[in-house]
Chain A
C-alpha cells in the first residue's frame, strides 16, 4: 500500500517536469526520484527515506509507490502541492537530467555534512560524481548552497 498523499507528490513532480512520465523509462524514473527528493527537501510531504545510489538520491519505498501508482502510465492529475514549490522544482529540472542529479546529490550530501561550506561540499560531490563535473560546479553556485 502506498503512503498517504504519495499521489499528490508524484503528480507535483509530473507537473513540474511538464512531460509525460513513463515508469518503464529509466530517465523518467530518475526524474521522479530526484523530483520527490527535492520536494521533500523543500518540506513537501509525504517524506521518504533517500539513500545515495549510483545516480544520486533514491528511495526504494518511493519506487514501490510509483510503480503502484503509475501502473499503465496512469499519472494522477490532481495535486495540492503549492505552485511555488512546483515552479522552483521546474526551474531546477529545466536545466536537464545531469544537472538535476548533481543538484540533488549536493542537497543529500549537505544533509549529512552540515559543517561543510559550499566549496567543501562541491569538492566532496565531485569525488562521488566526477563524470558530472560541469553540472556539480554549476549547481554548487546556486544560492541555496551559499
Chain B
C-alpha cells in the first residue's frame, strides 16, 4: 500500500500544475492504467493542503476541475481517502519528527504538514511506501531513523520507504 504526499495529489488532480506537466507520463500511466491493483492512499491533511495550494492560484474553473478530477479518481478506485489511524500515535510521531527534523535544523527542515503526512504513513501498518517529491524528506537520515524506530516500536514487520513517485 502506498501513501501520496500533497505534491503528488495536486499533480494528480490539477492538470495546470507544474508537476503534472513534468510528471505527465508517470501520472497518466498511474491514473489511466487498467492493470492497477491497488489505490493510492491519501490522508485528509494532504487533501486540505492540496486545496489550500490550489486555492492560492485563484482560478475558479481550475478549483472546480480539481474537485471533479478528485471525484473521478475516487470513483475509479485510483485513489482512496484514509482517516487518521490511531490519532494519539499520529500526533506523537508528528511531534517527534518536528522535534528532530523541524525548522531549527536547516539541513532537514520538515514542515508540520510533512510531519503529519509522514506520521500517518508510519502508523498505517499496511503502508510500505510514501511517495513524496521532497528530497528533504527522502534524503533525511534522521527521518529515516525515526520511521524505522517507530515501526519497530509499533511491532510492524513491513518497512516503510520514502521516495519519489514513479509508475
Please list the residues of chain A having a beta carbon within 8 angstroms of any beta carbon in chain B: 51-54, 58, 60-61, 63-64, 67, 108-109, 111-116, 120, 124, 127-128, 130
B25 touches A64 (CB 8 A): yes
**Complex CA–CA separation, A113 to B145 (angstroms):** 14
How far, in Å, is B158 (CB) from chain A's closest CB? 13
Interface of A is mostly: helix
| Residues of B143-167 whose CB lies within 8 A of A | 144-145, 148, 159, 161, 163-166
Q: Please, how many residues of chain B have a CB less than 8 angstroms from a CB on the other chain?
A: 22
List residues of chain B with CB under 8 Å of any chain A CB: 22-23, 25-26, 107, 129, 133, 135-136, 138-141, 144-145, 148, 159, 161, 163-166
Q: How far is the CA of A1 from the CA of B23 in the complex (A)?
A: 15
Q: Which of B107, B133, B144 contacts A124 (CB 8 A)?
A: B144
A-B contact pairs, 19 of them (CB 8 A): A51-B164, A52-B135, A52-B139, A52-B163, A52-B164, A53-B165, A53-B166, A54-B163, A58-B164, A64-B22, A64-B25, A109-B139, A109-B141, A112-B107, A112-B135, A112-B139, A113-B139, A116-B141, A124-B141
B166 contacts A54, C-beta separation under 8 Å: yes
Q: Return the chain A residue nearest B165 by Cβ.
A: A53
Interchain CB contact under 8 A, B107 and A61: no
Q: Provide the residues of chain A in CB contact with B163, threshold 8 Å.
A: 52-54, 128
